[in-house]
Amino acid sequence: MPLVLGSRIGPYEITGMLGAGGMGEVYRARDVRLDRQVAIKVLPEHLSQDRDALQRFEREAKAVAALSHPNILAIHDFGSDHGIVYVVTELLEGRTLRERLGGAALPWPKAVEIAIALAEGLAAVHAKGVIHRDLKPDNIFVLSDGHVKILDFGLAHVQVPKPEEAVTVTQPAMVMGTVGYMSPEQLRAETARAPSDIFALGAVLYEMLAGRRAFGGGTVQDALSAILRDDPPDLAGLSTPIPGDLARIVSHCLEKNAGERFQSARDLAFALRTVASGGSVSRRAPEVIDSIAVLPFVNESRDPDVDYLSDGVTETIINCLTQLAGLRVAPRSTVFRYRGRDIDPQAAGREIGARVVLTGRILQRGDTLVVGAELIDVALESQLWGERFTRKLADIFSIEEELASKISESLRGKLTRDDRQRLTRRSTDDSEAYRSYLRGRHAFNRRTPDSLEQGLRYFEQAIARDAEYALAYSGLCDSYSVLSYIGVMPPWEAWPKSRDAATRAVAIDDSLAEAHASLGSVCAFADWNWSEAEREFRRAIELNPRYLQARTWFAFQTLAPLGRFEEATVQVRSALEGEPLSSTLNLHAAMVALQQHRTDDAIEYARTALELDPGFLFAHVWLGMAYEHQRQHDAAIAEFEKAMPPLREAAPGWQGLLVHALARANRRADAEMILADLRQCARRRYVDSLLQAVAHVGLNQHEEAIDCLERAADERSALLVVGYPVLDPLRSHPRFIRLMARLRLPPDPIAVGAG
């Protein structure tokens, strides 16, 4: 029964009907929480009652929702309400390709442009192990601005064909898809793989070029027979000629034998771009350059103050290239191992496993910037491209955009409009604000008390230049948050500023993953609002799955404190798969492991972080805590003492860990002396009360420890959320249980995780 206008399904208000079909009705709706327009597909009752169909639908919806690609319909939500099962997607304005065609052909350049977008979307989907199985003009949407979206991923598993397209087979397996676009192997009820979708894309491209179906026929049986045995009419006979290479690409897509087609959508996209740029394509799939390492640009100015610029340009190019579908870009943590080293680019490329390597040099002379770069084919030991740019420092944007575009064209041929827009998207148009932001991130990434405060000042300078600079607000929020977390800045000063900055960043650019992750940290650490924290972290991951810090923050700031250890581990592993050589992500992994009492893993992760960054203070801190949990007190003391010299002045509370370790090592007099000094210090300046509590636990002064914890809650200490294992002796204490209830956290996450 159709839904009534104005009615609610979950948090969505129905505002109009968009269409109906075998898969149910589609409605326009308003998300009342976010006040945004969405589309809702309501599944028909017979599917809503099919448990297996629902499980498949949920599994596939999750797989597609994890994708983030401009040519794929975004899934926002799915669920059920009073027995009505629904899926929520972005709302599209435009028309389907079927409606766009209207039985007529498209100009071949436009057909190729659409086909490239489809191939790039399929490449992203196939990379996640998802096969569409029902690509056809009806499932392709052309937006009003010309962008292309692929619809209905995964629904082929439960889709009911239209009566005129229904297929009956005697095999045990079920044929899924639409006759006229299904591959021969699908008709034979064999497993559909990537070449099956490529066959369908070839049939769609044929129809766009010819204005008629490749395998239309008169009846369903005629179409079945044609797909299995016949080639479609030759495209060379069209009234409007098309390039010969384009006709060969279509034929190659429509090979009867799946092994003789393009084997990946990336290959197909490359071939189509070559045709679009006027190049030549062989009948076989061309060799595709699918991986690149951007080595750190060398600062030839010999001025350390220019390091921020060489590092910033490197990171910007990396981030730009990750926008290209089908291109694996070595992460920052991998390539920055080579920073400051005299290396052979080809040897580095072989070590990293990248087909091509980009090297670059930067020289700043006054307000003039000279940037040289070259792209090297590691396998062929040859230069693919090289150029030198001389610009004013204020024109840094044009250098970065030109670099990204020329590198991309060298790898992929002529860029589509979507590619060019992604590569040239700016967060600010003020080059001075941008340089201040780069300085801020350069300082923030060093993660020392002094560098964090320095980074904060640079972010403030960026915002002073551009009050609408969302990335700078996100950086400002992160600076305040970390300064509070490590005990340099009192939380009652830091959290209001952090919250304001994060809220401002989201208000300026709701599509910025960094902004939502920053706000998630505030919701967790300052507000103890776990549902909002989870929503913000998941939104950040949805917007940019490659912003891996959002995953580890989500893990140790929200999931682990709630005892959801399995989910936390999944997020950590996903992050480390993307950047295994990141010292920060390895530290976060150590924190999550220790939150679960997996001390061996915590030690391994912390040691890895220190191998990657020997000066990483907090890797020593967490390694020491892991040793303490294993009762290796002397080893713990050694690690804490390595971290204390810079922390003792900037954040003296961390000496509480040393007090705990000394007390447990039967050095009570030393422990009490340091604790007395810490109490004196707390009368003059901020000392994190939780760390004072840790000291009292080491001395078996439990009531005094809980006094400190209650004060830490009043102060909104972020450390209270993380849940240090050294607090385990207090977890059954009635006052501690009441305190955790105040935070809306379980008193013992380990017990929750085990249950």
String of DSSP letters for 644-704: HHHHHHH-GGGHHHHHHHHHHTT-HHHHHHHHHHHHHHHHHS---HHHHHHHHHHTT-HHH
Residue 602 is encoded by which pair of tokens? 């915590």
Q: How far apart are CA 297 and CA 291, in angstroms?
A: 18
- Torsion, Cα 496 497 503 509, to 10 degrees, reads -170
The answer to whether 28 touches 93, Cβ cutoff 8 Å, is no
Q: Give buried/exposed letters for 244-276 (b at 16+ CB in 10 A, else e).
A: ebbbbbbbbbbbeebeebbebbbbbbbbbbbbb
φ and ψ of 193, to 5 deg? -125, -170
The answer, yes or no, to whether residue 343 has pLDDT greater than 80, is no
Who has greater pLDDT, 245 or 199?
199
The answer, yes or no, to whether residue 50 has pLDDT greater than 80, is no
The answer, yes or no, to whether residue 57 has pLDDT greater than 80, is no
* Whether residue 116 sits in one domain with residue 78: no
The answer to whether 651 touches 688, Cβ cutoff 8 Å, is yes
Work out the percent of the chain whose per-residue pLDDT is above 70: 91
Who has greater pLDDT, 244 or 286?
244
Tell me which residue of 254, 253, 255, 295 sits closest to 271, measured CA to CA: 253
Tell me which residue of 525, 531, 607 sits closest to 564, measured CA to CA: 531
Least confident of 54-68, 154-168, 340-354: 154-168
CA 227 centroid distance within chain: 39
Average pLDDT over residues 308-312: 88
* Whether residue 332 sits in one domain with residue 369: yes
Instruction: Please identify, among 90, 109, 144, the residue that sits at the C-terminal boundary of a domain.
Output: 90
The answer to whether 420 touches 405, Cβ cutoff 8 Å, is yes
Position 558 scores a pLDDT of 96
Could you tell me if residue 666 is left (phi over 0), alpha (psi between -120 and 50 degrees) or otherwise beta? left
Tell me which residue of 19, 131, 10 sits closest to 64, measured CA to CA: 131
CATH number, domain containing residue 147: 1.10.510.10
pLDDT tier, 436 (very low <50, low <70, confident <90, very high otherwise): very high
Position 280 scores a pLDDT of 46
Tell me which residue of 306, 531, 559, 339 sits closest to 439, measured CA to CA: 306
Position 281 scores a pLDDT of 45
Position 504 scores a pLDDT of 97
Structural domains counted in the chain: 4
Position 189 scores a pLDDT of 81
Residue 539 lies in a domain: no
Q: Which 3 state secondary structure label does DSSP give 266?
A: helix
* Whether residue 181 sits in one domain with residue 236: yes
Q: Is 365 exposed, middle or buried (0-12, 13-18, 19+ CB in 10 A)?
A: exposed
The answer, yes or no, to whether residue 161 has pLDDT greater than 60, is no
Residue 665 lies in a domain: yes
The answer to whether 338 touches 296, Cβ cutoff 8 Å, is yes
* Whether residue 151 sits in one domain with residue 84: no
Position 719 scores a pLDDT of 92
* Whether residue 209 sits in one domain with residue 221: yes
Residue 661 lies in a domain: yes
Position 306 scores a pLDDT of 84
* Whether residue 698 sits in one domain with residue 671: yes
* Whether residue 223 sits in one domain with residue 85: no
pLDDT tier, 156 (very low <50, low <70, confident <90, very high otherwise): very low
The answer, yes or no, to whether residue 540 has pLDDT greater than 70, is yes
* Whether residue 109 sits in one domain with residue 47: no
Residue 283 is encoded by which pair of tokens? 């009948």
Average pLDDT over residues 485-491: 93
Tell me which residue of 719, 302, 319, 727 sits closest to 513, measured CA to CA: 319
Position 569 scores a pLDDT of 94
How many other CB atoms are there within 10 angstroms of residue 701's CB atom? Answer: 16
Position 755 scores a pLDDT of 59
Residue 255 lies in a domain: yes
pLDDT tier, 224 (very low <50, low <70, confident <90, very high otherwise): confident
The answer to whether 493 touches 473, Cβ cutoff 8 Å, is no
Average pLDDT over residues 279-304: 71
Position 286 scores a pLDDT of 42
Residue 259 lies in a domain: yes
pLDDT tier, 112 (very low <50, low <70, confident <90, very high otherwise): very high
* Whether residue 234 sits in one domain with residue 267: yes
Residue 574 lies in a domain: no
CATH number, domain containing residue 50: 3.30.200.20
Amino acid identity for residue 257 in this structure: N
Tell me which residue of 111, 71, 84 sits closest to 10, measured CA to CA: 84
DSSP output for 358-408: EEEEEEEETTEEEEEEEEEETTTTEEEEEEEEEEEGGGHHHHHHHHHHHHH
Instruction: Please identify, among 276, 304, 339, the residue that sits at the C-terminal boundary of a domain.
Output: 276
DSSP code of residue 76 = E
φ and ψ of 38, to 5 deg? -140, 170
CB-based contacts of 752, cutoff 8 Å, min separation 6: 562, 563, 564, 746
Q: Give buried/exposed letters for 609-636 (b at 16+ CB in 10 A, else e).
A: bbebbeebbbbbbbbbbbbbbeebbebb
Average pLDDT over residues 655-679: 96
Is 134 noted as a catalytic residue in this protein? yes
The answer to whether 543 touches 511, Cβ cutoff 8 Å, is yes
Q: Which 3 state secondary structure label does DSSP give 738?
A: helix
CA 122 centroid distance within chain: 18
Place of tokens 């340009």: 313
Residue 455 lies in a domain: no
**Dihedral sign for Cα atoms in the order 591, 593, 598, 600:** negative
Position 586 scores a pLDDT of 95
Question: End-to-end CA distance of the chain, in Å?
Answer: 42
Residue 596 lies in a domain: no
Q: How far apart are CA 468 and CA 451, in angstroms?
A: 24
**Catalytic hit among 31, 134, 311, 478:** 134
Q: How far is CA 245 from CA 46, 93, 197, 198, 200, in A?
A: 47, 34, 21, 17, 19
pLDDT tier, 572 (very low <50, low <70, confident <90, very high otherwise): very high
Q: How far is CA 356 from CA 280, 329, 349, 378, 590, in A?
A: 22, 10, 7, 5, 33
Highest mean pLDDT: which of 42-51, 409-418, 682-691? 682-691
Q: Which 3 state secondary structure label does DSSP give 708?
A: helix
Residue 662 is encoded by which pair of tokens? 């000394």
Residue 620 is encoded by which pair of tokens? 């020593």
CA 154 centroid distance within chain: 21
pLDDT tier, 260 (very low <50, low <70, confident <90, very high otherwise): confident
Place of tokens 């292309």: 148
pLDDT tier, 155 (very low <50, low <70, confident <90, very high otherwise): very low
* Whether residue 194 sits in one domain with residue 320: no
CATH number, domain containing residue 334: 3.40.50.10070
The whole domain housing 64 covers 8-90
* Whether residue 117 sits in one domain with residue 224: yes
Instruction: Please identify, among 413, 429, 450, the residue that sits at the C-terminal boundary of a domain.
Output: 413
Q: How far apart are CA 318 and CA 505, in angstroms?
A: 23
Q: How far apart are CA 230 and CA 213, in angstroms?
A: 13
The answer to whether 534 touches 558, Cβ cutoff 8 Å, is yes
The answer to whether 234 touches 223, Cβ cutoff 8 Å, is no
* Whether residue 659 sits in one domain with residue 755: yes
pLDDT tier, 714 (very low <50, low <70, confident <90, very high otherwise): very high
